[in-house]
Chains A and B, each alone.
Chain A
Amino acid sequence: MSRRRLRQGIAIALAGIPAIAFARAPSYTTAQADAGAARYTQACALCHGPDLAGSFETPALTGRFVQHWAGVPLSALAAYIQRAMPLTAPGTLSRTDVIALTAFLLRANGAPPGHAALPATPHGLDHLIFPVSEAR
């Protein structure tokens, strides 16, 4: 491969992933995840089950959920929750609820808590991606 074609390839690759290029693993606090767990029980568990396992008709929020969201900015996940969930009353969750639920979903799928809280600002989640789970 010529240097020119190599440079073109790198440029195309970088152009294709502007948001992910600076992506990093998220940090959330235990308090956020605990708050999310409480909110989950009230707003989500009826459909997704107390153990997040879903059912034959309702998607689980572990396992294949990670397959669908890993590598995606958390801002996209938060926006989806805000816009579409709960199915019976979409758009009724507060921004604080959505951030807490996001932290809860991270913990439920094996991401460890950290010292820094998950940011609540509109673009604070843009460069944080949902991580892949370890085999477990």
Chain B
Amino acid sequence: MPGLQGCQTVLSVTLQEQLRTAGALTPSLSRRRIFTGGLALGGSAVLGADHLIEPGAAQAPSGAARLSAPRPRLFLPTVQEDQISAIKVCLRPFRAQGPRYDVEKIGHKTVFHHYGHGGSGWSLSWGSADYVIGRVAATLTKRVAVIGCGIIGLTTALTAQRAGMAVTIYTRDLLPRTRSVRANGSWTPDSRIALTSAGPAFADLWERMARVSWASYRQYLGLPGLPIDFVETYALSDEPFDTPKAEPPPPPTLDFARYGTRIHDIIPASVPVAPQDNPFPVAHAKRISKMIFNFGAYGDHLLAEFHQAGGKIVMRDFHAPSDLHTVAEGTIINCPGFAAREWWKDDSLIPVRGQTNWLPPCPEARYGVAYRGAVMLSKSDGIMIQGYDLDGIGEAAGYNSGFEHPDRREANRAVGIFTDLFRRTGA
């Protein structure tokens, strides 16, 4: 069947029983045909199952119970280490005090700094750009240079264009080759964004940026190629979710700021999954709708918009701030990401290594799973698997590691978690 190569599928016994109970499984609708029909629904197969069991679900006593409606059928992609097609390593540009936003004069040039977003660059990009461009706009500048074409540089350039400015991006790499595209591609607005010592003023700014970004991303939902999408993600645990860690994190303790509760009113909450509704053989499960970014489609949208608005891109590298005198524009927005450490000699940037491992896309399995310190997200641009905390040390994982090369052993560990999980699930 087209599009099915590489995917194993499971039609659970539970679903068949529910369908029979609901009267949906008639003698003329064979087991084989339900199986096929589910496949034809592709990414919507889960919703299709909901519709099929509607009579049974209607007996649920309350709206809350409906939220936990069973989703017993999941397609299980072939997740094993011999399917890995790419391993990407990013160095999150972390600053203890949060991103750098100050203004510097270099000769006759005015430089607005805009970098150091840790593991939250994609998520905060639009809001952070809005904050910077507002301040640039207040100077009545008509032409700006943007240095860097990662996700921060590109959204900054677009926001400047939307504010009526003529923009030239100066960059040594375009989006497909920037560090930004080595991220995991999901909404993580307070991942290693700052330490708590950044203070309440930054917390307020973070909230403002997160809200603007969230609203901005929503404008891209449903566009061709699904540049931005939501996937249902299961969080699984062998122990209750509130079980305290057996051992405290090793020193030095990094007190990373967490701001997520400030925007709980707009972010879909996790929903407990009852044992009988849990598709996985794991004791505890929650489900959440998670916003994801499909790099290819989204990058195309952003670059197309930039060029359509008359934006120019100049391929060049900078080696020292004094190089800026060769730039024609008087106002420069500096968005180099982690490269600021070398080109601006900014030692406040600390690398936090993160590795993502990519398997071929599997449209029939469009969901996510987080389990034992690893996460799998099935997206249109591939199945992303990341061991975000394989050793149970929390956000300190990868801290101050500038090792920007693939670690095959780490990849195999992360992928192996889902190889084992799916083998047990399909057994």
Chain A CB within 10 A, most for which of B110, B134, B164, B204: B134
Complex CA–CA separation, A57 to B155 (angstroms) = 18
Within 8 A of B (CB), among A88-136: 109-110, 132-136
Q: Which residues of B contact A22 (CB under 8 A)?
A: none
Question: How large, as a class, is the contact surface on chain A?
Answer: 20 to 34
Contact B103 A135 (CB under 8 A): yes
Contact A60 B134 (CB under 8 A): yes
A-B contacts, CB under 8 A, total:
56
Q: Which residues of B contact A132 (CB under 8 A)?
A: 138-140
Within 8 A of B (CB), among A38-55: 49, 51, 53, 55
Complex CA–CA separation, A58 to B5 (angstroms) = 49
Q: Which of A5-13, A23-31, A62-70 contacts B (4 or more CB under 8 A)?
A: A62-70
Q: Name B216's contact: one of A56, A62, A66 (CB within 8 Å).
A: A56
Q: Name A64's contact: one of B110, B134, B212, B331 (CB within 8 Å).
A: B134
Question: How large, as a class, is the contact surface on chain B?
Answer: 20 to 34
Asked whether any CB of chain A lies closer than 8 Å to the CB of B215, the reply is yes
Contact B211 A55 (CB under 8 A): yes
**Nearest Cβ on chain A to B13's Cβ, whole angstroms:** 47
Asked whether any CB of chain A lies closer than 8 Å to the CB of B135, the reply is yes
Complex CA–CA separation, A134 to B212 (angstroms) = 25
Asked whether any CB of chain A lies closer than 8 Å to the CB of B284, the reply is no
* Also in contact, A56 and B211, with CB within 8 A (given A51-B204, A67-B163): yes
Contact A135 B134 (CB under 8 A): no
Contact A53 B140 (CB under 8 A): no
Complex CA–CA separation, A49 to B204 (angstroms) = 11
Q: Name A134's contact: one of B139, B163, B215 (CB within 8 Å).
A: B139
Complex CA–CA separation, A114 to B138 (angstroms) = 21
Interface residue SS majority, chain A: loop
Contact A64 B211 (CB under 8 A): no
Asked whether any CB of chain A lies closer than 8 Å to the CB of B367, the reply is no
**Nearest Cβ on chain B to A99's Cβ, whole angstroms:** 22
* Also in contact, A56 and B134, with CB within 8 A (given A64-B163, A134-B139): no
Contact B135 A136 (CB under 8 A): yes
Q: Name B137's contact: one of A57, A66, A110, A136 (CB within 8 Å).
A: A66
Contact B139 A133 (CB under 8 A): yes
**Nearest Cβ on chain B to A92's Cβ, whole angstroms:** 28
**Nearest Cβ on chain B to A135's Cβ, whole angstroms:** 5
Contact A63 B138 (CB under 8 A): yes
7 smallest beta-carbon distances between A and B, as pairs: A63-B134, A56-B215, A66-B138, A133-B138, A67-B137, A64-B137, A135-B110
- Given A64-B163, A135-B135, 20 other A-B contacts at CB below 8 A? A55-B208, A55-B211, A55-B212, A56-B212, A62-B134, A62-B135, A62-B138, A63-B134, A66-B137, A67-B137, A67-B138, A70-B138, A70-B140, A132-B139, A132-B140, A133-B135, A135-B103, A135-B110, A135-B112, A135-B331
Interface residues of B (CB under 8 A from A): 103, 110, 112, 131, 133-140, 163-164, 204, 208, 211-212, 215-216, 331
Interface residues of A (CB under 8 A from B): 49, 51, 53, 55-57, 60, 62-67, 70, 109-110, 132-136
